[in-house]
Structure 1
């Protein structure tokens, strides 16, 4: 063991110049290499949606919509052809944020342009379709209530109440609205940033030290084993 350490020390002294130079050169090379050399592009689709107004506890509540859109049940409906694992991956890249009592933003990011747009559109279209169906059901109930009340014959004493109810129902009908996209951003492409120059420089230095270590030490271990 003592002889091996002596030989290692001798090899270090003999090759000290390049042992020092190698980490410095690799560190400098890592620093000046283009920072995006290993980066990959990502694509993001985003839209702002105004929530509907027809008294639904989930689809009209912008605090609940983020939970709704990222739920397993909703994603299974929106993406029936994907596996559970694929939908879990979608969930991790789907962002739904509440901006106000009536506004949310939905964004989805991925590395494949066509798939990113396909998944994003599937989520948006499913939400809007469900919302439209619920809106139409509510609007139908209100229309039927108005028609029934207008066709009802009441006594003179109840006429005031009838007019008041009709007024309230007509106001409700006027205020009913389905959700809708108010702003849809074009798909944004973000180039990968790769590793920062300082980190690449440190990595270069570490690689240089590792190479020097292998050149100096490993031959001695093989020599001892022979």
Structure 2
């Protein structure tokens, strides 16, 4: 509930900042500065997902005031964002998290433990990527190569890891017909491509958290 409340307000703030960018630019810098403002589109998408999750996961645990607050914030979103992602979409959110973690890894001190973890994750994520491409029938599609990056110097594991993650995320989002889901491409019966991607990201996140690398690198998203 706290995160939903924050992201609705963040979406409004960022939308207004984008509309009025010329005026505050001299004081606060351009929108694409090295530490950029969160894009309003991302804030809207996160708010939509959190609102849906409140209704589907813990609606019965909310009191009357809580439900009315969710309804009110949802109405605010409807008024501000007339073209939301399809209900239940999460591919774009987990891939955004996937890339944020990669950027944090680039800033983390490289240890032998982290290097070994990145090498193992690089192999397992490439394998999952190939499985997802097969599930959506895109294994031979131009630009969807699942090849791992060329061997990097021993001290360049984070850079190679980031390049591979960027390739995977860009490819999957490009393949998604609406930018939000891959499952419409899956051949039935068969596994859910979106669920495969989410499982990969969550498993990798647990492995990275065990090395303390992501936590040590600090937060990535700033307003």
Question: Which has the larger Rg?
Answer: 1
Shorter chain as normaliser: what TM range?
under 0.3
When normalised by structure 1's length, the TM-score is 0.26
More strand by share: 1
Query: Larger RCO: Structure 1 or Structure 2 (Cα < 8 Å, ≥ 6 residues apart)?
Result: 1
More helix by share: 2
